[in-house]
Amino acid sequence: MHQQDINATPMQRVPTDDAPLQTADGRQAIQGRIGFVGLGRMGSVMAANLVAGGSRVTAYIRRPELSEELTALGLHPSLDIKDLFECDIVISMLPDDAAVHSVVFGRNDEIGLEGLAANLVPGALHLSMSTISTAAAARFAREHRRCNQHYIAAPVFGNPEAAKARELFIIAAGEADQVDRVRPIFDLLGQQTFYVGADPAGANLVKLAGNVMTATALEVLGEVLSLVRKRGLDPEMFLNILTSTMFGSRIHKVYGAKIAAQRYAASGFVFPLALKDVRLALAEAEAASVPMPSVSVVRDRLITGMARGYADLDWSALGLVAAQDAGLTINVEPKQN
């Protein structure tokens, strides 16, 4: 285990000429070397935004064919996770508990992946922006603390389009001074950051709760739009009335428009990822003895959609499941890459 005091972070060193305190537009500059793990549709856009903001980002990847694409975005791809070990901040944007666990603790299988916790320098910070369980977040925070490092949980609300426009909402939790340390990163990635306390698990609970609220809203939208369509009303006219009066949220407008137009091809959150989050939220609820019957319904609807072959569709395709159950003619767009 590293012996250096946890408060002696690499961020305390004197900035060099290539690491100014402020950018030309007056923003606080990001100090230190940045690594990134999880270069999927969300992660690659987020990492590219950091590069556009003046950071040098080392991107750990396991698929060599991604190198050219990521290099074109200004990233520095590497097939060796050891290239992250000297970074001051490592950001992870991974799909589930198991993926983050492999990165934090390493793997002893044929991949032979070395973990961040055992190898990052004392005072380094792991910024986990993945949507994971609260138990996993607590476990990762303990391990980094044991190794004299820092762990901040900062899952986001928003799809890849929002990420590209830097319109994410960031839910951050962990040591307050370390959250301040990475605020310049948040400022480059999102439109607003909410600090929810010192316990990293709290950020993941907020994210899971928000995601299941979205999922239940999509289920209801699918049901009511199926009703008006079957009764001969124009679903887009109906949706315009809803979103112009009592239901004007981004969820109702953006996803409602997809359901009304039967535009379900994947452009954001696909069924398996939505199901993962719904199951995590239900596990949290069971542990707290909180019944969530509406969320249980959505879980079953997601499973129904996957059984019908919709695993590659955006979770707005809950509207497709509802339309199909109502006996309506359905229209499924080809999968978009």
The residues assigned a catalytic role are: 207
In the three-class reduction of DSSP (H, G, I as helix; E, B as strand; rest coil), residue 194 is classed as strand
In the three-class reduction of DSSP (H, G, I as helix; E, B as strand; rest coil), residue 240 is classed as helix
Strand order in the sheet with 168-172: 156-157, 168-172, 190-195
Cβ atoms of 92 and 156 closer than 8 Å: no
- Give the span between the Cα atoms of 132 and 20, in whole angstroms: 34
Q: Is 97 left (phi over 0), alpha (psi -120 to 50) or beta?
A: alpha
- Give the span between the Cα atoms of 144 and 138, in whole angstroms: 10
Cβ-based neighbours of 166, under 8 Å, separated by 6 or more: 49, 188, 189, 190, 191
Cβ atoms of 318 and 218 closer than 8 Å: yes
Cβ atoms of 63 and 100 closer than 8 Å: no
